[in-house]
Amino acid sequence: MATASRPSRLHHTAYVTKDMEATRKFYEEIIGLPLVSTFCESDELFGKMRTYMHCFFALSDDSALAFFQFADPGDQAEFGPKMPASPFHHVALNVDADTQKAIEKRIAAAGYKEPDTYVLEHGYCRSVYVVDPNGMIIELCLDDEEAVKSADDWKANAHSELKRWLAGDHKINNYYR
């Protein structure tokens, strides 16, 4: 696929929160993402007037994590948050070593403990996981410098590895662990 024919970057990904102040505190003060805009809106959506706020927390590339909170408790109940309990549903953010260390310190200082925070060594990256006030899991990924040198090979083999797996050959290929 040609680079020009695909989106340039993530603009934002959006979720619903029942407590915007707890969400703001978590993303700004613990994760370190600044609140860059708050839009207070009222629109006819899905057959009804809905009043809500939409807050954006920026990443370094100006993409954002965004959260909605509704004024009407009925709208709030209808649209969420409905976070899955599975650790396989999460938002992963790339960090450098100093940022990961600083966030880990803020997570601990805020009183987070297992099972609401944990670390996994994936080999190709070290991941710190923490559950936000909405029940959503945030993963902070620190790429392994040696593993990243193989990124061109990952791209070259992505389709053949997918095809192999789908055909029933489930042997591991993460040799970085």
Strands in 137-143's sheet, in edge-to-edge order, are 90-94, 137-143, 125-131, 117-121
**83-177 belongs to which CATH class?**
alpha beta
CATH 3.10.180.10 correct for 1-82: yes
The answer on pLDDT for 59 being more than 80 is yes
C-alpha–C-alpha distance, residues 63 and 98, integer Å: 21
pLDDT for the residue 85: 65
Give the domain ranges of the chain: 1-82, 83-177
Per-residue model confidence as pLDDT tens digits over 95-130? 999 999 999 999 999 999 999 999 999 989 999 999
pTM score: 0.87
pLDDT for the residue 3: 56
Q: Is 75 exposed, middle or buried (0-12, 13-18, 19+ CB in 10 A)?
A: buried
pLDDT bucket at 69, cuts 50 / 70 / 90 = very high
Q: Which of 78-92, 119-133, 149-163 has the lowest mean pLDDT?
A: 78-92
Residue 140: CB atoms within 10 A of its CB come to 23
CB-CB contact of 65 with 138 (8 Å):
no
